[in-house]
Structure 1
Amino acid sequence: MKQAIYLFILLFCYLPQYASASTIKGPLSQQTQNPEVIVKYVYEQAGLKGKLDFEVFKNGYNAYYNTKARKKQLLTIIDYSKPSTEKRFFVIDLKRNKLLYHTYVTHGVNSGGVVAKHFSNIVNSRQTSLGTFLTDTTYFGGNGYSLRLDGLTKGLNDNARRRYIVVHGAPYASEDFIQRHGYLGRSWGCPALPANLSKKIIDTIKGGSVIYARA
């Protein structure tokens, strides 16, 4: 009975900021009144340990719940602290606590070589932008099937539309490219994905999901 009371308090007092009721599954102990425990629970259930740093996930998780305009229970995290030769693009289903995609993603040609070190919000900088994005609609352009992004972090990525920063596929965003050149190809600032996965990923995250990019 006491445990049920604690769970009731958790769901209605703590979860609005950190999680939805559907995020938590199974019996929970009294310590889940601590919001960080909730984040750790999702982190562990999604199998992110050893793939994505917990602090990075926690920051992305908070960015998701602070984005009021979101329409999907999906969180994409791009960890640009990792070199381009590592898989640093994560799509996480927060409703089912499941990692849907874990793959390569490019950074801008002027952001660095193997590792992205320079970031910008300036038009024509050809550098990657950091911060929180909200996905929008798709279109076919010069890079094929692409996904429009709105930058929500003032001063860091709010020029995303003006810079035509979109998610798209690219032949240079592949493991084969890494094997041949020793690094992943680079874009003009867009987070480009492996061509064989880009359409599936775009169709999954389009229409109001959150992307959190950090370095």
Structure 2
Amino acid sequence: MYAEGKCVYMKKTIAIIGLTSLAGFYAIFSKPNQLKPQTIPTAQHVDSLKEDESESSIAKLYKEIALEGKLKFEAFEMAMNGYYNMSFKNKDIITVIDFSLPSTEKRMAVIDLKNKKMLFHTIVSHGRNSGEKYANSFSNEHGSHQSSLGFYKTVNTYQGGNGYSLVLDGLEKGINDQAKPRAVVVHGADYCSQSIINSTGRLGRSYGCPALPRDVAKPIINTIKDGTMLFIYADNKTYLAQSKVLKAKPTTLIAQKDIVETQTGQGVMN
């Protein structure tokens, strides 16, 4: 009996050892669960996410201000990209002029970013040598009598030959930085009126100044003076290729409400 019991005991022990070995063998050689490696975002990926978030924020702001049908999104988007890459004393107000439109349409929009509303929407004249109904040619040269595209900072007001006027400081070197020496200013003009459009089929033209109707010139100038941004847009390949402001990556998102100083500290892109 003792021998038989011992034999049974040995058989059970061998069976247990066999099962344990088999389990160990399976654990070692079976294929482990595949875990997805953790993705570490690269600097390029982070920049891309920031750009996407910035673009979506601009689109949201565009809708909140109800600009559709009044100002092209492309013009507003470029204006905001520049706004976030330069420094302005007065961050609440921006002005966008869309010279891709004919002079018979309202091409100037003055926008209150703080309160998210459009303050003015009006016609505006372009330079006489930039084109007739449409502004197609642009220049930074003295005596060209053409408009200049790009980003400007509004400065001081004065009473001149064209009445109450607003000095503009061009912020893009080689593109519009001669605006002040050329005396390119915002002012009122009799040739910028609906009656001129009705009689000639287009607005009268300036020597390069963004001229406004007499009745709105003063209130607009008083609204945008002293350090606000003014952006003149056109679907112009030369400008889009040359503008360092537009090529710069947005350095801050709309929700942050911060403006980053340019490298020169003066707002002019070298």
Give the helix-richer structure, 1 or 2. 2
Q: Is 1:120 paired with 2:139? A: yes
Q: Shift in Å at residue 52 of structure 1?
A: 1.4
Contact 1:131–1:213 (Cα < 8 Å) also in 2 = yes
**Identity value in percent:** 51
Cα RMSD (Å): 1.6
Secondary structure at the counterpart of residue 87 of structure 1: coil
Contact 1:67–1:210 (Cα < 8 Å) also in 2 = no
Contact 1:119–1:130 (Cα < 8 Å) also in 2 = yes
Contact 1:70–1:134 (Cα < 8 Å) also in 2 = no
Q: Is 1:50 paired with 2:77? A: no
Greater Cα radius of gyration, structure 1 or 2 = 2
Q: 1:176 aligns with which of 189, 195, 202?
A: 195
Structure 1 residues without counterparts, runs of 5 or longer: 1-13, 19-32
Secondary structure at the counterpart of residue 34 of structure 1: helix
Deviations 1:13-72, CA, capped at 9 Å, x for gaps: x9xx99xxxxxxxxxxxxxx8222211111111110112111211101111122213323
Which residue number in structure 2 is paired with residue 207 of structure 1?
226
In structure 2, C-alpha distance between the alignment counterparts of 1:47 and 1:113, rounded to whole Å: 30
Most deviating of 109-118 and 36-45: 36-45
Q: Which amino acid aligns with 2:77?
A: K
Q: 1:131 aligns with which of 142, 150, 153?
A: 150
Which residue number in structure 1 is paired with residue 84 of structure 2?
65
Structure 2 residues without counterparts, runs of 5 or longer: 1-46, 235-270
Q: Shift in Å at residue 172 of structure 1?
A: 0.8
In structure 1, C-alpha distance between the alignment counterparts of 2:91 and 2:193, rounded to whole Å: 28
Q: Shift in Å at residue 205 of structure 1?
A: 0.1
Which residue number in structure 1 is paired with residue 216 of structure 2?
197
Aligned residues: 186
Q: TM-score, normalised by structure 1?
A: 0.83
Which residue number in structure 2 is paired with residue 40 of structure 1?
59
Q: How does 1:90-169 map to 2 (within 5 A)?
A: 90-169=109-188
Give the strand-richer structure, 1 or 2. 1
Q: Shift in Å at residue 145 of structure 1?
A: 0.1
Contact 1:144–1:169 (Cα < 8 Å) also in 2 = yes
Q: TM-score, normalised by structure 2?
A: 0.67
Deviations 1:69-115, CA, capped at 9 Å, x for gaps: 33231110000000000100000111011111100000000000000
